[in-house]
Structure 1
Amino acid sequence: MGKVSYMKLKGSQNLRQRLLLSTLASTPILIEDIRADATWPGLLPHEVSFLRLLETISDDCHVEINETGTKLKYKPGIVMGGGYLEHDCGLSRSIGYFLEPLIVLGLFGKKPLSIKLKGITNDPKDPSVDTFRSTTLPLLKRFGVPSEGLELKIESRGVAPKGGGEVTLSVPIVHNSLKAVTWTDEGMVKRIRGISFSTRVSVQFENTMIHAARGIFNRLLPDVHIFTDHKAGAQAGNSPGYGISLVAETTSGCFISVDTTNSYARGDNDDNEMDVDEKKELMPPEEVGEQIASLLLGEIEQGGVIDSSHQGLLFLLCALCPQDVSKIRVGKLVPYGIETLRNIRDFLGVKFVIKPDPTTGTVMLKCIGCGLTNLSRKLS
């Protein structure tokens, strides 16, 4: 067997995306100096968990971590997909952290993917499972992903610090490749939909959040519906919390989403720390509702066919398209989006032409896809 040549990288930034692109491009990577100077050097628990997830859905994938966790060798295998898989995402990041790379990998698997993920379903850092269901999955359909077999079921909710949530993700495979898009018309907002949830607190918290959010939206448009999802018992996870996810749907079929969750912060592993954190007051539900409504209006004002949290995924899907031109319009480029463009260039060799549009304050991006085809699928 020949010697494996590794692409050498440094540092911990964008580790999840680098691993995803390494798998898609079948490029082995060697990452050094992972938080080498930090108090707790090396890989964090959620990064190790993500590597375990890659091992779960792949065949012949090889992971090597040194003793301090500051050096990682990753040789990607073949994405197998398959049904009845399970993965515990742990409690250091929410399930949303794992979902984005998982849906992209699932598309290029040998068999359709069905996996149960356990952990935190809603937290302020990562997109919530509601946003994935309402915005991320419709985004995939733009690129020719079949809607049959593409779904996310929320079995139970769990917020920080103790989690207890559970979701089941199903992703169909693309039979050849994705479809290039020309997607530049964001349209006008025609309706707002949303879902509020609460776990281990009074259902009144949800009603207050909805009332506050509607107070802002109803001045602007009449078609606003925010549903409630109050969980009790085993379905409410292990910690108290509440939150809301909102989606603005436009006349051209774009979905702009924001979400927020309010729960007690994760303490350190020391139980006493946790008690100190638990005493902190949570933000009143009225403020949560007003704040999230303002955030959504801010995202709409920026323009573009998606919200800022979906920029990275949109760029990646364009880069994976056939060797055809994709053209998209986004609002202001966010740091994660810019990092994604750099990683796409390094791993897939795809460069985007970026042209600001001064009249609307938006940015137009064009690229020719790398033509990734699903070679691991079963040929009938």
Structure 2
Amino acid sequence: MGKISYKKLKGSQNLRQRLVLSLLSSTPVHIEDIHAEETWPGLRPHEVSFIRLLEKVCDDCSVEINDTGTKLKFKPGIVMGGRNLVHECSLSRAIGYYLEPLIVLGLFAKKPLNITLKGITNDSKDPSVDTFRSTTLPMLKHFGVPSEGLDLEILSRGSAPQGGGEVLLSVPVVQSLTAVTWTDEGMVKRIRGITFSTRVAVQFENTMVYAARGIFNPFLPDVHIFTDHRQGAQAGKSPGYGISLVAETTSGCCISTDTAVSYSRQEETAELEDEEKKELMSPEDVGVQMATVLLGEIEQGGVVDSTHQGLLFLLCALCPQDVSKVRVGKLSPYGIETLRNIKDFLGVTFVIKPDPSTGTVILKCVGSGFRNLSRRIS
């Protein structure tokens, strides 16, 4: 066997994405200086948990981590997928942190992916499981992913800090994606949403719904926000509440935003140990704030919201060798990092052209011609 040549990278930035691209492009990576400058250097619990998850869905991966956790050698294997897999996610990040990479890898696995993830379903850092169900999965259909076998079921909810939530993700395999021309964001025709609450009074949800509707109704009559109040084992281990909102447009775009309110995790409160538990945002303020944030996302324009830019660019880059053209609002920092990583690993460069008349940005690229070679041909 010849000597393995590793692609050298530095820092902890976008570790998830780098490992996903390493798997898809079969490029071994050697990452140094992971959180090296911080008080506690090395890989964080959620990053280690993510690496363990990759080992579960792949075959023949090789992972080497040094004693301090600041260096990682990752040799990719074959994405296998598989049924009845279970993964206990780290409680330092929500399940949303693990879902986006899993969805991309699942599409190009050998067998359909069917996995139960346990942990925190809703928090303020990562997209909620509701957003994945209402916005992320429908977005894949634009790229020719069949809706059959593509599903996310919320079995129980879990708020920070202790989680206790459980979701079941199913992803079908595809031979290849379809290039898109997706530049018409359309006009907002309706707003849908869902509030949730765990281990708090059901009135919290009604207050959030009422507050959000108060912002939307002057613009749009078709606003419907469902409530999902969980009790007992389905409510996880910690009290919390939150809301996820989606604006659906006439051209089939979904623009979403979400948040959740709960007590902080241990590491976030380490410096504030002696102080009283900080006061949580009231349900009314949560409803008003998220409704306002959604209006801001709509105003920016584009066919996806800022959270989904990275995934949109990655799917375009994985398309056949055909031109994909998409429109987004202002480029998010995550979107910009994704463009750099795509160029690094897949060699795909996007042509970026601002559209001054709408304040949006149009991106074009020729896909890398990525095909799922491990999928069984029936």
TM-score, normalization by structure 2: 0.98
* Deviation for aligned residue 1:278: 7.2
Aligned to 1:260: 259
Aligned to 2:359: 361
In structure 2, C-alpha distance between the alignment counterparts of 1:278 and 1:365, rounded to whole Å: 48
In structure 2, C-alpha distance between the alignment counterparts of 1:104 and 1:233, rounded to whole Å: 33
SS of 1:268's equivalent? helix
In structure 2, C-alpha distance between the alignment counterparts of 1:58 and 1:368, rounded to whole Å: 28
* Maintained 8 Å contact 1:86/1:117: yes
Aligned to 1:110: 110
Aligned to 1:336: 334
In structure 1, C-alpha distance between the alignment counterparts of 2:70 and 2:334, rounded to whole Å: 23
SS of 1:261's equivalent? strand
Q: Structure 2: 5+ residue runs without aligned partners?
A: none
In structure 2, C-alpha distance between the alignment counterparts of 1:278 and 1:16, rounded to whole Å: 35
SS of 1:293's equivalent? helix
Cα shift readout 1:124-151 (whole Å, capped 9, x = no counterpart): 0000000000000000111000100000
Cα shift readout 1:156-180 (whole Å, capped 9, x = no counterpart): 0001101100000000000x21000
* Deviation for aligned residue 1:274: 9.0
- Structure 1 runs, 4 residues or longer, greater than 6 Å off: 272-275
Aligned to 1:316: 314
Equivalent of 2:344 in 343, 346, 368: 346
Cα shift readout 1:28-73 (whole Å, capped 9, x = no counterpart): 0000111222111110000000000000000000000000001000
Aligned to 1:3: 3
SS of 2:205's equivalent? helix
Aligned to 1:100: 100
In structure 1, C-alpha distance between the alignment counterparts of 2:316 and 2:142, rounded to whole Å: 11
Q: Is 2:237 the counterpart of 1:242?
A: no
Q: Is 2:122 the counterpart of 1:122?
A: yes
Q: Is 2:304 the counterpart of 1:306?
A: yes
In structure 2, C-alpha distance between the alignment counterparts of 1:269 and 1:252, rounded to whole Å: 41
Alignment of 1:51-130 (within 5 A): 51-130=51-130
In structure 2, C-alpha distance between the alignment counterparts of 1:277 and 1:21, rounded to whole Å: 43
Q: Percent identity?
A: 78
Alignment of 1:123-202 (within 5 A): 123-174=123-174, 176-202=175-201
* Maintained 8 Å contact 1:350/1:369: yes
| 1:81 counterpart letter in structure 2 | G
* Deviation for aligned residue 1:269: 9.4
* Maintained 8 Å contact 1:267/1:273: no
* Maintained 8 Å contact 1:265/1:277: no
In structure 2, C-alpha distance between the alignment counterparts of 1:277 and 1:150, rounded to whole Å: 46
Cα shift readout 1:97-119 (whole Å, capped 9, x = no counterpart): 00000000000000000000000
| 1:245 counterpart letter in structure 2 | S
* Maintained 8 Å contact 1:264/1:277: no
Q: Structure 1: 5+ residue runs without aligned partners?
A: none
TM-score, normalization by structure 1: 0.98
Aligned to 1:214: 213
Q: How many residues align?
A: 378
Cα shift readout 1:299-347 (whole Å, capped 9, x = no counterpart): 0000000000000000000000000000000000010000000000000
* Deviation for aligned residue 1:275: 7.1
* Deviation for aligned residue 1:379: 2.1
Structure 1 276/114 Cα, relative in aligned 2: closer, same or farther at 3 Å? farther
| 1:40 counterpart letter in structure 2 | W
In structure 2, C-alpha distance between the alignment counterparts of 1:48 and 1:269, rounded to whole Å: 19
Structure 1 274/74 Cα, relative in aligned 2: closer, same or farther at 3 Å? same
In structure 1, C-alpha distance between the alignment counterparts of 2:31 and 2:292, rounded to whole Å: 40
* Maintained 8 Å contact 1:267/1:274: no
In structure 2, C-alpha distance between the alignment counterparts of 1:9 and 1:275, rounded to whole Å: 36
Equivalent of 1:291 in 276, 289, 293: 289
SS of 1:356's equivalent? strand
In structure 1, C-alpha distance between the alignment counterparts of 2:315 and 2:85, rounded to whole Å: 25
Alignment of 1:16-31 (within 5 A): 16-31=16-31
